[in-house]
Chain A
Amino acid sequence: MKLNILSRMIGLAAAGFFSAAVPVQAADTYPDRTIQMIVPYAPGGTTDLAGRIVAKAMGAAFGQSVVVENKPGAAGSLGVGQALRSVPDGYTMAVSGVSSTMIHDLLGRELPYDPKKDLNAVAYLGSSGMVVITGNNSGLKTLADIIERSKKEPGSISFGSAGNASPGHMATEYLASMAGIKMTHVPYTGDSALMTDLMSGRIDFATVGIASVFSHMKAGSVRPLAITSAERISTFPDVPTVAEAGDLAGYEADIWNLLVLPKGTPAAVDQKLNQTINQLMREKGVRESLLEIGFTAREMDIAEIQNFIQTEREKWGKVIRESNINVE
């Protein structure tokens, strides 16, 4: 903790030193040098791909290169923390996700930043749904089957996710609390063990990001039961939403990404980034590239993003209170 305070003090000192110089160059010349975009996950994942798509388009729009740097660790909070502690001049930013924006904080985990105070979200980079899948040999054919069996024998159904308090775990607990059922959570650390156990029937179902099982769904090697988004997706129009399949009106759980900068960044820079990215989201190329990896683009201004964060925070806070997700 001491180290944290110290590094934050150094950060603040540096910020004070540099911020004197920042307003001079202001927004009309921004950006006049290379921008660093931190992706807080290992290369190759969907967040990384999404970040790279946006970074490339931003680079073209600004005429300055936007360099993606992968800084994995602590479920995304390490990289986000690094960006939020950097000099607030608009040249260091990070892609944050549901976990690093709020879930870690709601669970009371120790973070290198305070999402409520330090986080300055300037753009919405798209959302992706999750999907409830079973193995092909499973006797559970619909989401209603899962709910029905869990009502009869609480805890008898086991589900896998990418880890404790991962979006898949949260989404399933949300479902369970709405349906009034109890299921057994089996956390995994990687896709391979999860998929092997799912396909061989060791676990009953799993809730994972659509992008990560897209190929399995297309190949027919797993059976999709329901999509966690509010609407069905065009690639699999026959797969119902959780709200439809489980008769749980109002259910919606998505994975989303935001572009975040440190607090204290000049407002003009925030606005310029917001407008540029919204502009990019309107472009067909960017939209389609994002869609290919399962992300739906959406334009939001900064006030809308703040409202969005607030709504999501309330929703997940409630899920955490009502279910048994906790850090003991």
Chain B
Amino acid sequence: MDLISNLAIGFETALTAQSLFYAFIGCFLGTMIGVLPGLGPVATIAMLLPITYGLDPVSALIMLSGIYYGAQYGGSTTAILINLPGESSSVVTALDGYQMARNGRAGAALSVAALGSFFAGCVGTLIIAAFAPAMTSIAFQFGPAEYFALMLLGVVCAVVLATGALLKAIGMVIIGLLLGLGGTDITSGVTRFAFGIPELSDGINFTVVAMGVFGLSEVIVNLSTPQGREGMLVNKIDRLYPTRAEVRESMPAVLRGTFLGSILGILPGGGALLSSFASYSLEKWIAKDSVPAFGRGNIRGVAGPESANNAGSQTSFIPMLTLGIPSNAVMALMIGAMMIQNIQPGPQVMSSNPQLFWGLIASMWVGNLMLVILNLPLIGIWVRLLTIPYRLLFPVILLFCVIGVYSLNNSVFDIWMLMIFGVAGYVFRKLGCECAPLLLGLILGPMMEEYLRRALIISRGDWSVFLTHPISAGLLLASAAMIVVASVPFISRKREEAFVED
């Protein structure tokens, strides 16, 4: 078996003391920066890039990828504990994870997130090892028309499967899409809605909005009630680890999430981004009658998206390793690190540097294992963090929010934006509007526009491309089907209780 012997080469490389050491450093650093809101892996890797010059290539890449998936783990920790998603993928985790924490189940949410991610990571690693070359063709199948259809499906899912009122969800998606209109028009170069402020000429940064409407508005909400000021969870922490029933509920969600994430992760144009949203929608659709409802602390809402997100972040290595095409900013930096080491990323890496290729893959598995070992004992500490009186905790949360947001672009302007969106988020909550659809609109809006216009430029203005390309046609059909399914009960005014106003 080729796969076995290849993996053997990989583990030989990954299990040396040196590789283990750098994997640990990477995972540890990654977890730390993931826990600090806003401080993302991109800034960290960029800072560490010069250090990697001196390391041998295998160690350098092992450390960098450790930071990457360590940050994914750490990011969900703050999302669950204090409703502060630092990255697009943890927005979804915050929805039910934070509610679980409020119900005293923070430990369960964190451990399900860790174990689900570990499982997904293992599967993702195996997929890379076994199918990487075969799966690259999927990436090539996706042109602008296909991406547009995929994004449209994402928006439709967000609306159809939103918790509260359908109309409010539609409203929030539209606000998100409108916010996404600001910035430089890609096709013509015209700046839209910048109001003469140069900082607005690239549009509104997603992370700033996410931290504002989730994290900052949460702080305002908590401070507005006496029990919120006291600290919400002092007496409510029961068992740290999930109950048997919770495990039983999570398992299928983890499996589905892993599957979805593995597929979507391969698409370099934003597929990995969609995977956690997609998984959440899927879970909600499959288990819509489960208790507690989604958005109120349902464990599937944590298990599915967390697995999807981790599987996606594993398989997003595939386009980089096999094509030299980076699927996100972190991957671009890793390609930079490879080039500094005089390794040309691309299909030939597998044959020219088998140690590096298979060693990196094996180290992903090792790193995932390390993260579980590192994170499971930490859960107790994290949960105890919640017993800190809120009046002491909230200034720290604010401080890290501000530092994190500043570090995005080294810009004070972003801190002002954070505050504006914090207040906006508070108003939305008081109005009973959910912010997740808004964020999805903000993320997907600009991408949809970009892909739509690119598809039309390439087709020279012929709209039929969206229907003549089979993948695109299929995805559009799925969107149409979802709208019909959702609107039938709406029209007959027999929408289920869970859909109606809370």
A residues lining the B interface (CB < 8 Å):
1-4, 42-44, 48-49, 52, 69-75, 77-78, 81, 107, 109-112, 155, 158, 163-165, 184-189, 191-193, 195-197, 199-200, 202-203, 214-216, 218-219, 221, 292, 326-328
Residues in chain A near residue B189, CB distance under 8 A: 107, 109, 163-165, 327
Determine whether the beta carbon of B344 is less than 8 Å from that of A110.
no
| Range class of the B interface residue count | 35 or more
Contact with A along B329-345 (1 / 0, CB 8 A): 10011011011100011
Which A-chain residue is minimally distant from B447 (CB atoms)? A189
Determine whether the beta carbon of A73 is less than 8 Å from that of B142.
no
Residues in chain A near residue B458, CB distance under 8 A: 158, 186, 197, 202-203
Task: List 20 contacting pairs A-B, 8 Å CB cutoff, sorted by A.
Answer: A43-B42, A69-B410, A70-B410, A73-B411, A74-B184, A78-B198, A81-B198, A109-B191, A110-B198, A158-B458, A164-B186, A192-B269, A193-B144, A195-B324, A196-B323, A215-B335, A215-B339, A218-B344, A219-B348, A221-B324
How far apart are the CA atoms of A191 and B344 in the complex, in Å? 16
Determine whether the beta carbon of B187 is less than 8 Å from that of A52.
no
With known contacts A43-B46, A44-B49, A164–B198 Cβ distance under 8 A: no
Please tell me which one of the listed residues B50, B319, B324, B333 contacts residue A215 in the complex, with CB atoms under 8 A apart: B324
How far apart are the CA atoms of A2 and B197 in the complex, in Å? 9
Within 8 A of A (CB), among B162-221: 184-191, 194, 196-199, 201-202
Interface residues of chain A: helix, strand, loop or mixed (majority): mixed
Residues in chain A near residue B454, CB distance under 8 A: 186-188, 193
Please tell me which one of the listed residues A48, A186, A192 contacts residue B327 in the complex, with CB atoms under 8 A apart: A192
Q: Which 9 A-B pairs have the closest CB atoms?
A: A43-B46, A219-B346, A164-B189, A1-B196, A192-B268, A74-B201, A215-B344, A200-B140, A44-B333
How far apart are the CA atoms of A74 and B199 in the complex, in Å? 7
With known contacts A43-B43, A44-B49, A74-B202, A221–B347 Cβ distance under 8 A: yes
Which B-chain residue is minimally distant from A327 (CB atoms)? B189
Residues in chain A near residue B196, CB distance under 8 A: 1-4, 110
Determine whether the beta carbon of B411 is less than 8 Å from that of A158.
no
Determine whether the beta carbon of A196 is less than 8 Å from that of B335.
no
Determine whether the beta carbon of A196 is less than 8 Å from that of B268.
yes
| B325 sits at the interface (CB 8 A) | yes
Determine whether the beta carbon of B409 is less than 8 Å from that of A73.
yes
Residues in chain A near residue B184, CB distance under 8 A: 74-75
Q: Distance in Å from the Cβ of B51 to the closest Cβ of chain A? A: 12
Determine whether the beta carbon of A43 is less than 8 Å from that of B198.
no
Contact with A along B444-459 (1 / 0, CB 8 A): 0000001000100110
Which B-chain residue is minimally distant from A187 (CB atoms)? B186
| B326 sits at the interface (CB 8 A) | yes
Determine whether the beta carbon of A163 is less than 8 Å from that of B325.
no
Please tell me which one of the listed residues A43, A184, A189 contacts residue B49 in the complex, with CB atoms under 8 A apart: A43
Residues in chain A near residue B202, CB distance under 8 A: 72-74
Determine whether the beta carbon of B333 is less than 8 Å from that of A77.
no
| B244 sits at the interface (CB 8 A) | no
Determine whether the beta carbon of A195 is less than 8 Å from that of B332.
no
Residues in chain B near residue A186, CB distance under 8 A: 454, 457-458
Residues in chain A near residue B142, CB distance under 8 A: 196
Residues in chain A near residue B344, CB distance under 8 A: 214-215, 218-219
Q: Distance in Å from the Cβ of B221 to the closest Cβ of chain A? A: 31
How far apart are the CA atoms of A187 and B409 in the complex, in Å? 24
| B430 sits at the interface (CB 8 A) | no
How far apart are the CA atoms of A74 and B324 in the complex, in Å? 27
Determine whether the beta carbon of B324 is less than 8 Å from that of A216.
yes
B residues lining the A interface (CB < 8 Å):
42-43, 45-47, 49-50, 139-140, 142-144, 184-191, 194, 196-199, 201-202, 268-269, 319, 323-327, 329, 332-333, 335-336, 338-340, 344-348, 409-411, 450, 454, 457-458, 460
Q: Distance in Å from the Cβ of B318 to the closest Cβ of chain A? A: 12
How far apart are the CA atoms of A199 and B346 in the complex, in Å? 13
Determine whether the beta carbon of B187 is less than 8 Å from that of A164.
yes
How far apart are the CA atoms of A29 and B198 in the complex, in Å? 36
Which B-chain residue is minimally distant from A79 (CB atoms)? B410
Residues in chain A near residue B457, CB distance under 8 A: 158, 184-186
With known contacts A4-B196, A71-B409, A184-B460, A195–B325 Cβ distance under 8 A: yes
With known contacts A192-B327, A196-B140, A328–B190 Cβ distance under 8 A: yes
Determine whether the beta carbon of B325 is less than 8 Å from that of A196.
yes
Residues in chain A near residue B327, CB distance under 8 A: 192
Residues in chain B near residue A187, CB distance under 8 A: 186-187, 454
How far apart are the CA atoms of A171 and B460 in the complex, in Å? 22
How far apart are the CA atoms of A289 and B390 in the complex, in Å? 51
Please tell me which one of the listed residues A44, A199, A200, A326 contacts residue B332 in the complex, with CB atoms under 8 A apart: A44
Determine whether the beta carbon of A202 is less than 8 Å from that of B143.
yes
With known contacts A74-B201, A327-B188, A327-B190, A202–B339 Cβ distance under 8 A: no
Determine whether the beta carbon of B268 is less than 8 Å from that of A193.
yes
Q: Distance in Å from the Cβ of A285 to the closest Cβ of chain B? A: 13
With known contacts A184-B457, A191-B325, A43–B333 Cβ distance under 8 A: yes
Residues in chain B near residue A165, CB distance under 8 A: 189
Residues in chain A near residue B332, CB distance under 8 A: 44, 191-192
Residues in chain B near residue A81, CB distance under 8 A: 198
Residues in chain A near residue B323, CB distance under 8 A: 195-196, 199, 221
With known contacts A109-B191, A192-B319, A203-B458, A197–B143 Cβ distance under 8 A: yes
How far apart are the CA atoms of A199 and B268 in the complex, in Å? 13
Q: Distance in Å from the Cβ of B149 to the closest Cβ of chain A? A: 15
